[in-house]
Every structure is written in C-alpha cells, then in structure tokens.
Structure 1
Amino acid sequence: MDRLGSPLVVDPPQGVADETSRAPGGRLTRLVRLPRLWLVAAFLVVALLALGTYALTRGPETPPITATDVDKAVRDGITKAQEEAAKAPPDAAAAYRAALPSLVTVATRLTGAKGAQRGTGAGVVVSADGSVLTALHVVDGADSIEVTFADGTSSPAGVKEKDKATDIAVLAPERLPQVVVPAVLGGGAQVGDPVFALGHPLGLNGSLSAGVVSALDRKIRVDSNQTLEGLIQFDAAVNPGNSGGPLLDKGGQVIGIVTGLANPSEQNFFVGIGFAVPIATAGGVAGSPPQ
C-alpha cells in the first residue's frame, strides 16, 4: 500500500490502454484498446468480402460485335419480314374486304314500248349521308330506282345529281342502313397498276375480278351523239351488271367508276377491255374535291 492507504495500481504494459473507469462496488474495470494491427486486418477482410460480392453480382462483359453477328441480324430481319408478308392477305382479298361494305346494288324499272323492263347495275356509297355514285346509263330514264346496301337494307332512291358528259349519276336513298360505310376515294392510276372491278356481273352479286390498268386518257364513242373522254382502260373482266360499280386499287380505294366495255361485235359479254371514269371526275359530280 502507498502512503495514502490506497490499493496499489500497477501501470499497464506498453501498448495497452491505461484508461480506467470505476465499476459498481468500487472495483476498477480496465478498458483495453485493440492494437492497430487488428484494425487494419479487419478492414482488409471487409474490403475483400465487398470485392467478392461485387464479382459475384456484376454482369458479364459485353463481347464486341463481329461481322458474323451483323450477317445473322440481317438474315433474321429478312426472315421475319418474309414471315409477316406471308401472313398478309393478297391484294385482291384486301381490296375486296375494304370495299364490299360500301357496294350497292341498283335495280331499275322502266316502262316503254316493249312493256316493263328491269335492269341491274352497281354503285358505291361515297358519303356519310348515304349518297351513291353510279353510272348514269344504269338509271337514266327509269321510272323507279331501288338500292340495296351491303347489309341487305333496301330503299327507293332518286337521282340527286347527274352529268351526261361523264356518264355519272349520284343517287339519294330515302332510307339508310343502320351503319353507313362510305368508300375511301383514291388517287390517280398508273399504267400497269393492279386494279379490281367490283359489281354484280350477269346478276352474280358482289363479284370481284382482277387485272391491271392498260392505258389512260382513253376516248370511246358511246353512240352517235356521245363520246366519253379521259377514261381508264383496264383488263379486269366486266359484264352487264358491273356498270356503276367501283374500280379499286390494291388497297381497296375507289379510283374509278366502271362505265362500260369495248363491244366491237355488238355482243353483250366480256371481251377483255373495260373502261372507268376516273374518280377525280366522278367524285366532282358528287361534290367531292378533286383528287
């Protein structure tokens, strides 16, 4: 014991902390610091663990793109495009589906010297008010006109507008179907373009025939008093019952109104040459802007 009668306190060995605190009951509890070497070792362990975790979670390196990769991507793209094209319907089918809801049957009755005569032609709905575009010669002089829409709705109709110089008439039905489906009017045609005539040839309703534009700006003599000019010549089959029906492009848009066929033998059947009034001309009679 020292002179104050206190317990002897021995100095800690070198490298050990000499911080003390008084524990309950008056005893001394020594707080010993870890040597700095242990701190460094612990830090290194934590760092190594972190690096290991990063190595396990990081993604693989992106390999460089090679010429083989490019070639494969091009081949895959071509294959996919060909598969999509194969799934698409043919032009004729697409045109038919697009235009059929707008097709109209035009039935006429005419009383003349030979008694009552009935005629049948075609037409196409061109506006939301149900106006029907057709050929004037289909309805000219008729005592009565009846139109039948694609959904089966029938209605009497009158001639709203007509132009003898172009053989175009616009019909106004008295009654409309629940849903009116106007056709989409297309633009100009070019020689060689695929075209489709839609109508009711020989009474066969809703028939489609296919061909190409054979020539443009044709002039034909209808009779001794009339010549039609600026016509589209095409080779799709048309027969009586096609008159007034639409001539379609491959998207189903109306590019003309069928007006007749070449008839050098005076026979009423297909001879391979049909004519249509361009829609820019026909639509003008109906009040549509020029195409």
Structure 2
Amino acid sequence: MRRPALYSSSRQQRQQQPEAPRGAPEAAQPAAPATPRRFDPASPRVLWAVILLMAMALVYSLSLSLRHGPRAITQEDIDKAVLKTMETQTLPSEYAKAYDSIRPAVVRVVSYVKKSRLKEALEKAHPTPKSPKTAKPKPLGPALEGDKLAKADDDEEVEQGVGTGVVIIDKGVILTNLHVVSGADKIKVTFSDGLEADASITGVQPENDLAVLQARKIPDDLIAATMRSTADLQPGDKVMAVGFPFGIGPSASGGVVSGLKRSFRSPEGKQEMNNLIQFDAAANPGNSGGPLVTMDGEVVGIVTAILNPTPARTFIGIGFAVPIENAATAAGLPPF
C-alpha cells in the first residue's frame, strides 16, 4: 500500500531548521541595512561651521574698508559746510549769547526808607530856593516824585532808589553798589523768574562802593554768574552792561573796554576809587551794581559810576566798573 506524500511550507522549514551543535561557532548574522544620517542644524559641527563662515566674511569686509577707506575731509569741505550753515540759519549775535548767559543771575534791587527820613534827606540835598527864578533840580527815579511822597505817611516806607545786583553764589548771595542800599530801612530784590524777596546787608567794601546782600528767599533753580579774572582783559575787548537804568529792564547795552586802571572821584568829592575798568557801553542811574560781562557771559566787573560833567546825570560815553577781583573779596571769595 502506497504511503501518501507529506508537504510543509517554507516558513515551517525555516522554523524547523536544526540547531547548531553545542560548542560549534555561531553562524554570522546578516548585517542590518545602513540608516542614512539626518542634517541637524543644532549640532556643534554645524554651529562652528557657521561661526567660521561669519568670521571669514567679517575679515573680508574689514580688509575691503581698509583698502579703500573713507575720503579724507578737506578744508574746502569744511568751508562749504560753514558757508551753507551761514546761508540757511540765522546765528545769534555775541551780545545776545552773552545776555542769555548772564540774565538768570541779574536781579533788580530796590531800597526803601521811611517817609520822615526821606523828607529830611531831600531838604538837605535840595534846600528851598531863595529866589523863585532859581530852578529846582528834578529828582531822578519814581521814588522821589512829589505826589508819591506827599501821599505817604511819615512811618510808611517809600522807594528810595533802584539799582541792580548780580548773584555770585547760588544760595542767594548778591553783589551790588553800596550807594544803592546805603541807609535803607528795607531792601527788596526781584529775581529773573519774578520772585521778590527781602534782603539784608551782610558785608560792605566802602572803598570800592560795594555791598553784599543775602536774599531771604530764593528760586529753586537759582543760577549764579560765572566770574572771570581781568588779568587778560585789554582795551578794545567787547563788553556788555546789564541792569535796570531808571528802573527799566533788565536792559542790555554793548560796547568795549576803553581803558584799565582808571581813577574816579565822585561829584561831591567825598570818595576816590582806583583801579577801575573804563567802558563805553551805555549806563545810567539804575545800572549801578549791575554786571559788566564779556562775550562769554562772564562777569569782569561791577558797574559803579558814570562820568557826569553836567548836572544832567546822563551817560556821555564814559562809565566805570570795579574789577571783579575786588568785588569777590567783598563777598569773602578767594581771588582768582
């Protein structure tokens, strides 16, 4: 009797492969297929390569700039730029710049006395004329007007005179002329921002007609003037006088230094001052105590007198200022 044939699948054949005998070397396994590498932009190699490329590009650009370089600026280029600026813009004058620099430090100084004292002073200065044909000199300034004086009570304080001062220390220390505040019962100063404050005399220098005031109240942003030595000051140098002539101001007038080391004697002949600066910038009663400044806005003197060959008491072209070195010593400041 024939035996039927037996069949098996290939899987079964693989599964039924005979095991290798013990101790026999293992058969080599087939190698796994190679996996292709992916590009990783965050890998260190890529980052270093990018940095190297950027460094090479920077070096190349620097070499090009050094090789060709910017064009050198010539004097002709500078002249053209200056000329264009002058043609297209209006520049402030030297006097305007000097005024802007000194203006915050200039103050108006007004002295007050009681009416009874002022009447006595006026009677001594201007006695009653013996003849009606004799003309009585007209007093200067609003404080001496007859109507204002007549309406005031004997104990009322009336304006004696108006002058100018300049702040030299930002704590409210002010320089002015002694004749502006001499004999006053009350002194008031008005700062550039309009603040009005009482002031007291803290020092005097009679030989130079100087007084030092201390304001009892000052602005928060008070600016003191800059003082400059007169050692290099020369005749012909431009200067400017700032003050309150006849109470009007602040007013500015420009001129030049006319001379140095001048002497001046007051019209009454009571006092002679020396080592004065002579200048021709217009000054009138009320300018007394104001600053004489350079075109840099720096104070070189304190206006103190004008030459008055006539009783008119008006400016004729010759004014005098105390050098700032003398004025600084009056306030206890060290000399330059």
Q: Same-fold call, TM > 0.5?
A: yes
2:191 equivalent in structure 1: 149
Superposition RMSD on alpha carbons, in Å? 2.7
2:245 equivalent in structure 1: 201
Which of 263, 267, 270 is equivalent to 2:312? 267
SS of structure 2 residue aligned to 1:211: strand
CA drift at 1:175 = 1.2
Do the aligned partners of residues 235 and 60 (structure 1) sit closer, same or farther apart at CA in structure 2, a change above 3 Å counting? closer
SS of structure 2 residue aligned to 1:238: coil
Which of 302, 313, 326 is equivalent to 1:257? 302
Do the aligned partners of residues 64 and 130 (structure 1) sit closer, same or farther apart at CA in structure 2, a change above 3 Å counting? closer
CA drift at 1:159 = 0.6
1:101 equivalent in structure 2: 104
Using the alignment, how far apart are the partners of 2:291 and 2:66 within structure 1? 62
Using the alignment, how far apart are the partners of 1:280 and 1:61 within structure 2? 55
Using the alignment, how far apart are the partners of 1:91 and 1:197 within structure 2? 13
1:9 equivalent in structure 2: none
Which of 221, 237, 241 is equivalent to 2:265? 221
2:334 equivalent in structure 1: 289
Q: Which has the higher strand share?
A: 1
Which of 161, 184, 188 is equivalent to 1:119? 161
User: TM-score, structure 1 length as denominator?
Assistant: 0.74
Q: Deviations over 1:28-77 (max 9, x none)?
A: xxxxxxxxxxxxxxxxxxxxxxxxxxxxx995996899xxx98x822112
Do the aligned partners of residues 61 and 241 (structure 1) sit closer, same or farther apart at CA in structure 2, a change above 3 Å counting? closer
CA drift at 1:150 = 0.7
CA drift at 1:182 = 0.5
1:77 equivalent in structure 2: 78
1:31 equivalent in structure 2: none
Q: Judge conservation of contact 2:265–2:273 (CA < 8 Å) in 1.
A: yes
SS of structure 2 residue aligned to 1:271: coil
CA drift at 1:225 = 2.3
Give the length in aligned residue pairs: 235
SS of structure 2 residue aligned to 1:162: strand
Quick check: 88-97 or 278-287, which moved more?
88-97
In structure 2, the gaps of 5 or more residues are 1-29, 31-60, 123-148, 150-157
Structure 1 residue identity aligned to 2:302: I
Structure 2 residue 177 is the aligned partner of structure 1 residue 177 = no
Using the alignment, how far apart are the partners of 1:200 and 1:64 within structure 2? 59
User: TM-score, structure 2 length as denominator?
Assistant: 0.64
Using the alignment, how far apart are the partners of 2:175 and 2:283 within structure 1? 18
